[in-house]
Amino acid sequence: MEENINIAPKYPWVSPRRYNAFSDSFKSVHGYRMQKVSIDAGFSCPNRDGTKGTGGCTYCNNRAFNPSYCNPEKPVIQQINEGIEFHKRRYRRAEAYLAYFQAYSNTYASPVILRDLYTEALKHKDIRGLVISTRPDCVNDEILDLLKELSEHCIVLLEFGIESCYDATLARINRGHSFSDAVNALEASHSRGLDTGAHFIFGLPGETREEMLKEAGMISALPLNRVKFHQLQIFRGTTMEKEYNENPGDFEIFTLDDYIDFIISFIERLSPAIQIERFTGEAPPRFLAKESWGRERTDAIVRRIEKRLEELDTWQGRMYYL
């Protein structure tokens, strides 16, 4: 990614880009680049194991995002070692690593089990901290207190899959939680000083572009440090693939050019205080039931977004205070 983007120094973030880039902010705080090493610790989800439902989220296929070295049958340390070797070949600028508990809901266990798993990862000599992906309904005071305790000694980044601000959408995709559950979890995390992020998907069934744009204000009101945005990807063998085949008119499927224009309109309305970690999602083509963007990689799409921001002379938060 280009570092010397020509941009006026009027924006209230450390990044030289026209948006508040998480990677630049993180490096400015910690002094160097760190790479996430994914771990599959064998967790489940309450909408998958029968606690709140079965089948999981209608769009979910975790295999599409899990690197090949991730396997819950392998010890955490083995996954870390294999992940570091993988990343040394692909990302040579990384100087240290974060253990990324990624697959499914990584706080969905007792605090005793969680402490053991997190501590095991932190024992690795190249691991500087944790990234923990979970759901808003899979944290409680005891778990958040554990994360606060760990954050006093290492980096802890907590990220919640929220996906939509609309309860009708959350019910339709079988999330098993409400938007108010997400608000409560974020407020409880923020009150403990945890660095908290959230994940949202654009293009979920039943949502119009106008409704998606309105989410910028709703997200801006949340106590968030970071966000990840992904376009909807329809994976083979999922409930959503069947739903799309039966009712394609219920889906807002973006072309790449449409999505670039949409995401720029969105971040213009987003609080400039929120760091952006991702604009898009990427998965191996063999998992996709519908492929519309060709094989353009994430970094190339980011460059296109940055170029379009310059062409329009706009930036994150330009319309936030209007």
- Per residue in 81-131, pLDDT (tens digit) is 999 998 887 766 677 899 999 999 999 999 999 999 999 999 999 999 999
The pLDDT, as a whole number, for residue 11 is: 82
The pLDDT, as a whole number, for residue 8 is: 41
Residue whose entry in the numeric block shows the structure tokens 């293009």: 203
Residues facing residue 202 across a β-bridge: 231
Element (H, E) at 36: strand 34-39
Whole-angstrom Cα distance, residue 88 to residue 120?
22
Mean pLDDT value across residues 211-240 = 96
C-alpha closest to that of 20 among 268, 311, 312, 280: 268
The pLDDT, as a whole number, for residue 20 is: 97
| Two structure tokens written together for 48 | 């998958």
Whole-angstrom Cα distance, residue 44 to residue 207?
28
Whether 243 shows a pLDDT value over 50: the answer reads yes
Whole-angstrom Cα distance, residue 70 to residue 82?
9
The pLDDT, as a whole number, for residue 1 is: 36
Identify which has the larger pLDDT, 253 or 111.
111
The pLDDT, as a whole number, for residue 252 is: 87
Q: What pLDDT digit, counting tens, does each position of 39-48 carry?
A: 999 999 999 9
The pLDDT, as a whole number, for residue 113 is: 97
| Radius of gyration (C-alpha) of the chain in whole angstroms | 19
Q: What is the mean pLDDT of the chain?
A: 92
**Residue 80, Cβ density class (10 Å: 0-12 exposed, 13-18 middle, ≥19 buried):** buried
CB 114 within 8 A of CB 107: yes
Q: What are phi and psi of 130, to 5 degrees?
A: -125, 145
Mean pLDDT value across residues 221-228 = 98
Whether 186 shows a pLDDT value over 50: the answer reads yes
The model's pTM is 0.93
Q: Which of 126-140, 156-170, 259-273, 281-295 has the lowest mean pLDDT?
A: 281-295
Mean pLDDT value across residues 258-266 = 97
The pLDDT, as a whole number, for residue 132 is: 98
Mean pLDDT value across residues 154-159 = 98
**CATH number for the domain whose boundaries are 24-312:** 3.20.20
The pLDDT, as a whole number, for residue 129 is: 97
**Residue 233, Cβ density class (10 Å: 0-12 exposed, 13-18 middle, ≥19 buried):** buried
Query: In the chain, where does DSSP find H-type helix?
Result: 22-30, 76-90, 111-122, 141-151, 167-172, 179-191, 209-220, 239-246, 256-268, 298-312
The pLDDT, as a whole number, for residue 2 is: 41
Q: What pLDDT digit, counting tens, does each position of 279-303 carry?
A: 998 887 788 887 768 778 899 999 9
Domain boundaries, the chain: 24-312
The pLDDT, as a whole number, for residue 315 is: 96
C-alpha closest to that of 106 among 155, 159, 177, 37: 159
Pairing mode, strands 96-101 and 34-39:
parallel
The pLDDT, as a whole number, for residue 52 is: 95
Residues facing residue 230 across a β-bridge: 201
Whole-angstrom Cα distance, residue 253 to residue 5?
31
Residue whose entry in the numeric block shows the structure tokens 């790479």: 35
CB 37 within 8 A of CB 81: no
Whole-angstrom Cα distance, residue 101 to residue 230?
19
